[in-house]
Structure 1
Amino acid sequence: MKKIVYVTDTNLIRKDIAERILAEKFDLRFTDAVTEDELIEKCGDANAIIIGLPDVTAKVMDAMPNLEYISSAIIGFNTTDIDAAKERGIPVSNNPKYCTNEVADHTCALILTLSRRIIEYNNEIHIDKQYASMAAGYPIHRLCTQTLGLFGFGAISKSVAKRMQAFGMKVIAYDPYVTKEKGAELGVEIVDIPEICKRADIISLHMPHMKSTDKMINKAVFDAMEKKPIFVNCARGGVVDEDALVEAVKEGKISLAGLDVVTNERVPIGDNPLTQQKNIVMTPHAA
Structure 2
Amino acid sequence: MTKQAQQTVVITDYDYGDVDIEWAIIEDAGLRLVAADCKTEDDVIEAAMDADAIITQYATVGARAINAFIRCKVIARYGTGVDIVDVDAATRRGILVTNVPNDWCQNEVADHAMALLLAAARKICGYDRATRAGTWRWQSGEPIHRLQGRTLGLLAFGAIAQAIAARAHAFGMLVIAHDPYMQPEDVAAHGAQPTSFGELIEHADYLVIQAPLTKETRHLIGEPELRRMKPTSILINTARGPIVDDNALYAALWEGWIAGAGLDDIEEEPAKQRDWEPVNPLFSLDNVIITPHAAYYSDEAIRTVRDFAAREVARVLTGKPPLSPVNAAQLAIVHPGPSS
TM-score scaled to structure 2, two decimals? 0.79
Residue identity matched to 1:268: W
Which residue pairs with 2:282 in the alignment? 274
State the Cα RMSD in Å: 1.8
Residue identity matched to 2:291: T
Secondary structure, in 3 states, of the residue corresponding to 1:106? Answer: helix
Change (3 A) 1:123 1:137: closer
Please, which of 163, 168, 174 is the counterpart of residue 167 of structure 2? 163
Query: CA-to-partner distance for each residue in 1:14-66, whole Å, 9 max, x for gaps?
Result: 73332343322222222222322222222221111011100101221222211
Residue identity matched to 2:247: D
Change (3 A) 1:107 1:131: same
Which residue pairs with 2:97 in the alignment? 92
Which residue pairs with 2:310 in the alignment? none
Instruction: Report the Cα offset of residue 5 of structure 1.
Output: 1.2
Which residue pairs with 1:108 in the alignment? 114
Q: Output the CA distance in 1 between the equivalents of 2:96 and 2:64.
A: 17
Instruction: Report the Cα offset of residue 243 of structure 1.
Output: 1.3
Instruction: Report the Cα offset of residue 181 of structure 1.
Output: 1.2
User: Residue 256 in 1 paired to residue 260 in 2?
Assistant: yes
User: Residue 181 in 1 paired to residue 185 in 2?
Assistant: yes
Which residue pairs with 1:143 in the alignment? 147
Q: Output the CA distance in 1 between the equivalents of 2:163 and 2:27.
A: 34
Q: Output the CA distance in 1 between the equivalents of 2:141 and 2:219.
A: 34
Instruction: Report the Cα offset of residue 13 of structure 1.
Output: 9.2
Instruction: Report the Cα offset of residue 140 of structure 1.
Output: 1.3
Instruction: Report the Cα offset of residue 278 of structure 1.
Output: 1.9
> In the TM superposition, what are the counterparts of 1:38-77 in structure 2 within 5 Å?
38-77=43-82
User: Residue 223 in 1 paired to residue 231 in 2?
Assistant: no
Q: Output the CA distance in 2 between the equivalents of 1:185 and 1:286.
A: 30
Secondary structure, in 3 states, of the residue corresponding to 1:79? Answer: coil
Secondary structure, in 3 states, of the residue corresponding to 1:262? Answer: coil
Instruction: Structure 1: state its 5+ residue gaps.
Output: none
Change (3 A) 1:60 1:137: closer
User: Residue 193 in 1 paired to residue 197 in 2?
Assistant: yes
Q: Output the CA distance in 2 between the equivalents of 1:23 and 1:150.
A: 43
Q: Which has the higher contact order (CA 8 A, sep 6+)?
A: 2
Alpha-carbon contact 2:240-2:265 (below 8 Å) kept: yes
Change (3 A) 1:227 1:187: farther
Alpha-carbon contact 1:199-1:227 (below 8 Å) kept: no
Query: CA-to-partner distance for each residue in 1:214-268, whole Å, 9 max, x for gaps?
Result: 1111111112113531111110011111111111112211100111101212263
Which residue pairs with 2:246 in the alignment? 242
Please, which of 107, 114, 119 is the counterpart of residue 125 of structure 2? 119
Q: Output the CA distance in 2 between the equivalents of 1:112 and 1:271.
A: 26
Change (3 A) 1:258 1:174: same
TM-score scaled to structure 1, two decimals? 0.93
Alpha-carbon contact 1:198-1:227 (below 8 Å) kept: no
Residue identity matched to 2:214: M
Q: Output the CA distance in 2 between the equivalents of 1:233 and 1:184.
A: 23
Q: Output the CA distance in 2 between the equivalents of 1:12 and 1:74.
A: 13
Please, which of 38, 41, 49 is the counterpart of residue 36 of structure 1? 41
Instruction: Structure 2: state its 5+ residue gaps.
Output: 296-340
Which residue pairs with 2:292 in the alignment? 284
Q: Output the CA distance in 1 between the equivalents of 2:56 and 2:215.
A: 20
Alpha-carbon contact 2:53-2:74 (below 8 Å) kept: yes
